[in-house]
Amino acid sequence: MTEDPVLTEQLRLMAKYVSEGVPVLVVTCTGGERGSVLNPKLQGDKYIEENIHEVRAKEMDEAREILGIEQEWLGYVDSGLPEGDPLPPLPEGCFALADVEEAAGELVKKIRAFKPQVITTYDENGGYPHPDHIMTHKITMVAFDGAADTDKFPEAEYGAPYQPQKLYYNQGFNKPRTIALHEALLARGLESPYGEWLERWKEFERKERTLTTHVPCSDFFEIRDKALIAHATQIDPDGGWFRVPMEIQKEVWPTEEYELAKSLVDTSLPESDLFAGIRENA
């Protein structure tokens, strides 16, 4: 499960599991209506600025085809990222102001129809504190348990009950990975795009997350880049995403990281597979 039209850190993981024959569904909670055009090559394009929702939907279609996944929209309106001091109020009707139980119910419908064994989402901080990321976390936590609860979400309205078995928080942008790549680049005499990231980490004093699951994904880094570039309004192909040579990425940090938040199956930590404990009992 994700909120952003850009799937970022999960792309290579999805490609890996698709290659193994695992069906993958991305539920996108908003249409990115208040998103900015981050690619400098497209900034100032009036058509894109006036039709950002439609443009991003087409970008998602292209990325979905590249990855071979399924994707559905939850239908909520982007909240935007409030900026300033004090922060301005969130816009009326946006996703972050939706009723949590109601929005979770819409997600329950998707879960009961698709029947995922594993769900991934943002942690309680949203990865970074975007209000829609945090809301995505909230509704996913309710829906994970609620998908099996016919008292809260009756079958007649939400579909037949179903219980997913594991829930993970996406932790692809973790500090150990960032430090490892930063130091590897400097050791080779190359410029690192991560210096500012690490300085911001000091400012925020964020609590380090527990990385429970390290999934080898290096064979899928190239397809990740193709899917990222498909999100042209948000990704500059000459930007920081692509400044780390592929061979260094594969050598220094060939895995994708997750934090196991809930499990209804027995598993041993650390894991190397989101389906650990599920495959063994299949």
The candidate with the shortest Cα–Cα distance to 37, out of 47, 24, 48, is 48
127, pLDDT greater than 50: yes
The CATH number of 8-173+213-244+257-263, from 3.30.470.30, 3.40.50.10320, 3.90.230.10, 3.40.640.10, is 3.40.50.10320
Instruction: Report domain extents, the chain.
Output: 8-173+213-244+257-263
23, pLDDT greater than 80: yes
- Confidence band, pLDDT 50/70/90 cuts, at residue 206: low
110, pLDDT greater than 70: yes
For the chain, what is the mean pLDDT?
A: 92
Please indicate whether residue 229 or residue 282 has the higher confidence score (pLDDT).
229
92, pLDDT greater than 60: yes
Predicted model pTM: 0.93
- Looking at residue 8, its pLDDT comes to 52
Q: How far apart are the first and last CA of the chain?
A: 23
Give the mean model confidence (pLDDT) for residues 176-200.
Answer: 93
- Looking at residue 5, its pLDDT comes to 41
How far is residue 98's CA from residue 3's CA, in Å, rounded to a whole number? Answer: 14
- Confidence band, pLDDT 50/70/90 cuts, at residue 6: very low
- Looking at residue 35, its pLDDT comes to 86
8: helix, strand or coil: helix
The candidate with the shortest Cα–Cα distance to 242, out of 219, 225, 223, is 225
Task: Quote the DSSP letter at residue 207.
Answer: P
133 among the known binding-site residues? yes
Tens of pLDDT along 190-205? Answer: 999 999 888 888 776 6
Give the mean model confidence (pLDDT) for residues 250-273.
Answer: 97
**DSSP assignment string, 70-104:** EEEEEEEBP-----SSSPPPPPTTBGGGS-HHHHH
Range scoring the smallest mean pLDDT among 20-34, 36-50, 61-75, 228-242:
228-242
158, pLDDT greater than 70: yes
Between the alpha carbon of residue 82 and those of residues 21, 130, 170, the distances in Å are 40, 8, 23
- Looking at residue 3, its pLDDT comes to 43
